[in-house]
Structure 1
């Protein structure tokens, strides 16, 4: 799959269109758009995020034409999510036209049926306790499915769950999936000593923060952001020290010397983490 992160907006959209046109309105197309949505979140590219959600809505609308079922509801949710994020008047007008066309088509094909915009329903959230339990059960199932799986499988599973949550207007689940993706990137960053993964983790936590309503949830996410930034800073310092050390040493080194130069994020000197509550808070949350 082509990496979209370094492309211009136009190039990204053309590449996505090419990928999805070749495979048609199937699960691979949805995953391609889901990965593009993930990249847009990481780079804080709200324009790309809006475009991808619109394209996901178009994909669901094509499926709805073929199967004439609840894909209309999914398209409605994705168009609505794109409209909520939209900052460009022209794009906003395009989305409104899409929504109008989708509603008209739905009534024609499904005998007057109008797609549900769940995010507009005043009683959608239900009781707070039942929603917390519902989201916890969904996340528990996701954890069970992804247990002991490879990183790419786990990432794709959560990306697909994120798209579903957005399409359903399920903001509480969306926040939890974003947090789970952040945890995934955080652990991968520590495991592989990859600073970019820690940056991705912070981006996911910050995205979840933008729509987080409860003060307790915000505090949890803020702790994750701060701890991730702390680990990222320490990792950069150690990598810089290792580079300087290697530059000042002869190029030929024994295998034992190579082994001792390996960084282990868990073996940092306590001065790097002056407050042990960082680690404690991470495990609590």
Structure 2
């Protein structure tokens, strides 16, 4: 009898499964994989390492929530290879439940999850492993050596055609919980992911798509509130995944609208980030300019410290005696007004003040002095 663990249940043993797989005869055969396939298998092992270690310690059934989170992460990253591996593991979980509880429905769930993984698998060797799982689950389900083909329908029941209204009714409690500002959003994400799996095993495409869309809504809300583009990227990936799996035109229109809105939020977030970066750059430049100005003042102060007293006195005197041409013009204008009004004494004082401002023995300004003297003469009549 092919044992479940011999089929390579744990992904930390995926390298062993990759190079040595058991076929239907149970013989050990060496696979011939390319370097890229080996690298991809290593990447999958690394991504699922923690949850697989936990499953070895506590069992597959107790780590089902961790595999649901791994499924969500694979869909959010649009990582088809990891998604296939997680679907295999969720099939293993239900297979274990069926064996322990003698529940045929769990075998049905396992077979549907294996079949879904097989349909989404692009690696023929991984597909062979999934097919072995499917046949083993089928054997347990029927209680005899399977004679049916891989297209065996384990859940062939009379069902109503799924509708968006029915899916919305199932998801309504979670939607309300999210709208009310539930603090445990990870719990909400896990519950939505359960509905994704339920939609897969029941063949309810509408429920699967609506649940994936709701997962995208959670990440969109997170990204809008936190302005973190990582959440917006996950929302975009989930909307794209739902769009690919959607069969109805109405659902596709809603998903396209969400994709456009997410792109708008991302652009606004990028613009805000650019403005913040520019503001920081300007503040840093102002700080640099301020430090440069202080350094220049220090250098000037040091120059004064080591300057000879005579040179320092001459510099200060030159600075103090430099003419103030603005005040000079004001005195002239005030004197002209006083002269026009006939107030000769005021006009004389203003012209005399203007002459004092520009009078410099070392650098006389002959034209302005002559102008002042001429106006003084006019004020004296």
Bin of the TM-score, shorter chain as denominator length: 0.7 to 0.9
User: Which position in structure 2 is the counterpart of 1:157?
Assistant: 191
Give TM-score, length-normalised by structure 2: 0.57
**Residues 138-177 of structure 1 mapped to structure 2, 5 A cutoff:** 138-144=170-176, 147-150=180-183, 151-177=185-211
Flag structure 2 segments of 5+ consecutive residues without an equivalent.
1-41, 145-151, 288-381
**Contact in 2 for aligned 1:42/1:200 (Cα 8 Å):** yes
Residue in structure 2 matching 1:49, options 58, 83, 91: 83
User: Which position in structure 2 is the counterpart of 1:112?
Assistant: none
User: Which position in structure 2 is the counterpart of 1:134?
Assistant: 166
User: Which position in structure 2 is the counterpart of 1:188?
Assistant: 222
Residue in structure 2 matching 1:243, options 277, 281, 299: 277
Residue in structure 1 matching 2:154, options 117, 130, 136: 117
Partner Cα distance (2:240, 2:118) in 1: 21
Q: Does 1:32 pair with 2:66?
A: yes
Residue in structure 1 matching 2:134, options 99, 103, 116: 99
Residue in structure 2 matching 1:14, options 29, 38, 49: 49
**Contact in 2 for aligned 1:41/1:207 (Cα 8 Å):** yes
> Which stretch shows the higher mean deviation, 70-79 or 163-172?
163-172
**Contact in 1 for aligned 2:44/2:82 (Cα 8 Å):** yes
**Contact in 1 for aligned 2:48/2:70 (Cα 8 Å):** no
**Contact in 2 for aligned 1:31/1:156 (Cα 8 Å):** yes
**Contact in 1 for aligned 2:108/2:141 (Cα 8 Å):** no
User: Which position in structure 1 is the counterpart of 2:117?
Assistant: 82
User: Which position in structure 1 is the counterpart of 2:372?
Assistant: none
Give TM-score, length-normalised by structure 1: 0.75
**Contact in 1 for aligned 2:167/2:206 (Cα 8 Å):** yes
Q: How far apart are residue 156 of structure 1 and its match?
A: 1.9
Q: How far apart are residue 62 of structure 1 and its match?
A: 1.0
Q: Structure 1 102/135 Cα, relative in aligned 2: closer, same or farther at 3 Å?
A: same
Structure 1 segments, 4+ long, off by >3 Å, are: 115-118, 121-124, 144-148, 250-253
**Contact in 2 for aligned 1:81/1:169 (Cα 8 Å):** no
Q: Does 1:63 pair with 2:97?
A: yes
Partner Cα distance (1:149, 1:74) in 2: 31
Q: Does 1:224 pair with 2:224?
A: no
Q: How far apart are residue 123 of structure 1 and its match?
A: 6.4
User: RCO higher in 1 or 2 (8 Å CA, sep ≥ 6)?
Assistant: 1
Q: How far apart are residue 139 of structure 1 and its match?
A: 1.3
Tell me the SS of whatever aligns to 1:213: coil
Q: Structure 1 226/145 Cα, relative in aligned 2: closer, same or farther at 3 Å?
A: closer
Q: Structure 1 123/106 Cα, relative in aligned 2: closer, same or farther at 3 Å?
A: closer
Q: How far apart are residue 201 of structure 1 and its match?
A: 0.8
Flag structure 1 segments of 5+ consecutive residues without an equivalent.
1-6, 110-114, 254-285
**Contact in 2 for aligned 1:80/1:117 (Cα 8 Å):** no
Q: How far apart are residue 91 of structure 1 and its match?
A: 1.3
- In the comparison of the two structures, how many residue pairs are matched? 236
Tell me the SS of whatever aligns to 1:87: coil
Q: How far apart are residue 60 of structure 1 and its match?
A: 1.0
Q: How far apart are residue 252 of structure 1 and its match?
A: 11
Partner Cα distance (1:17, 1:127) in 2: 37
Q: How far apart are residue 163 of structure 1 and its match?
A: 2.3
Partner Cα distance (1:30, 1:252) in 2: 56
Deviations 1:85-140 (A, max 9, x none): 0111111111111111111112229xxxxx9534xx5965x346xx3332121011
Deviations 1:213-250 (A, max 9, x none): 11121111011001101111220121122022113214
Partner Cα distance (2:231, 2:96) in 1: 35
